[in-house]
Amino acid sequence: MVVLSNVHGLQAEIAQHGAALAAMCVPDRDGHLADVVLGHLDAAACQEIRSFLGSSIGRVAGRISGARFTLDGQQHTLASVHGCICHHGGPAGFDTRPWQWLDVQNDRARLQLISPDGDQGFPGELRITVEYTLDDTDALHVEYTATCDRASPVSLTHHPFWNLAGEGAGPVDDHRLTLPASSFLELRPDLTPTGRRLDVTGSAFDFREERALGDGLSDHDDAQLQRTAGFDHYWVLDTQVPGALRLAARLHEPSSGRVLHVWSDQPGLQVYTGNFLDGSLQGRSGRPYHARGAICLEPQGFPDAMNHPEFPSIVLRPGEVYRNRIVYRFSKDTP
């Protein structure tokens, strides 16, 4: 475990397993520190249970329908648990691997993973690095880069489970979310995209103005919300400037005063409210994690893009460099 720190007392713990953000200690409006990401009780539990907590996800984040895709005329069949969907890179996705430390300093850490040709069914060798940097403006920067020796789909993401009241503090229904996104992707019953973009106007999915998560989650008549028992959808950001960082989400927890701004260079982000947490996972605080005990804000490419030609491509080719830059900027409200 590596601990990064800054002059204001913020700390980020980075784990080798899954190149994960294992803890993130941030002060509230009164200066009291709390860990605001869900994490495993110990290192052994992290390796025994695949929970994605804080992990680096790949080779392709999200669900791939049919656990297959065709690229350059060749069909590729992917590893899967249930035989019909490849989820978060397959059963042995990047979150399950020990990454290699490349560089460690007080304020930054860089790790590498080499994914061989055929790994989980994906073509080509992929070399990935992730660099974490904690600066003195209270921002944690996470930057992924990757290169390949053969064309392959690549869409990495970072998967912290945020609870700005503190990990294990209970449901995040009172967290207030803002998303600059006018549409989201409709899901089939197997939770893969249909290909249709739905307008958020008047729906549970409209967070263009700050709104409590619980307000949206309480819309029990929404068919898409019923399908996932909470949010587990991809929002398409309104501003599309390839390669440029822009605000992707704002999260505010009123009782602590903590505010999180998420900046991204990706076309959208997956929002997940921990719907599958069932209390069986015990966190660092010793408290069990239940459904809606956190929210994930995961900047990434369009899910299942290989099977939807109408979506922006996520194919990486030799000579190109894949990048995914994320900035988590922390601040406090004014009471």
User: Minimal CA–CA distance to 298: which of 15, 129, 36, 58?
Assistant: 58
310-to-122, 193, 219 alpha-carbon distances in Å: 22, 12, 30
Phi, psi of 118 (to 5 degrees): 90, 0
User: Minimal CA–CA distance to 261: which of 246, 240, 242, 241?
Assistant: 246
Q: Are 75 and 67 in contact (CB under 8 A)?
A: no
Catalytic residues: 159, 298
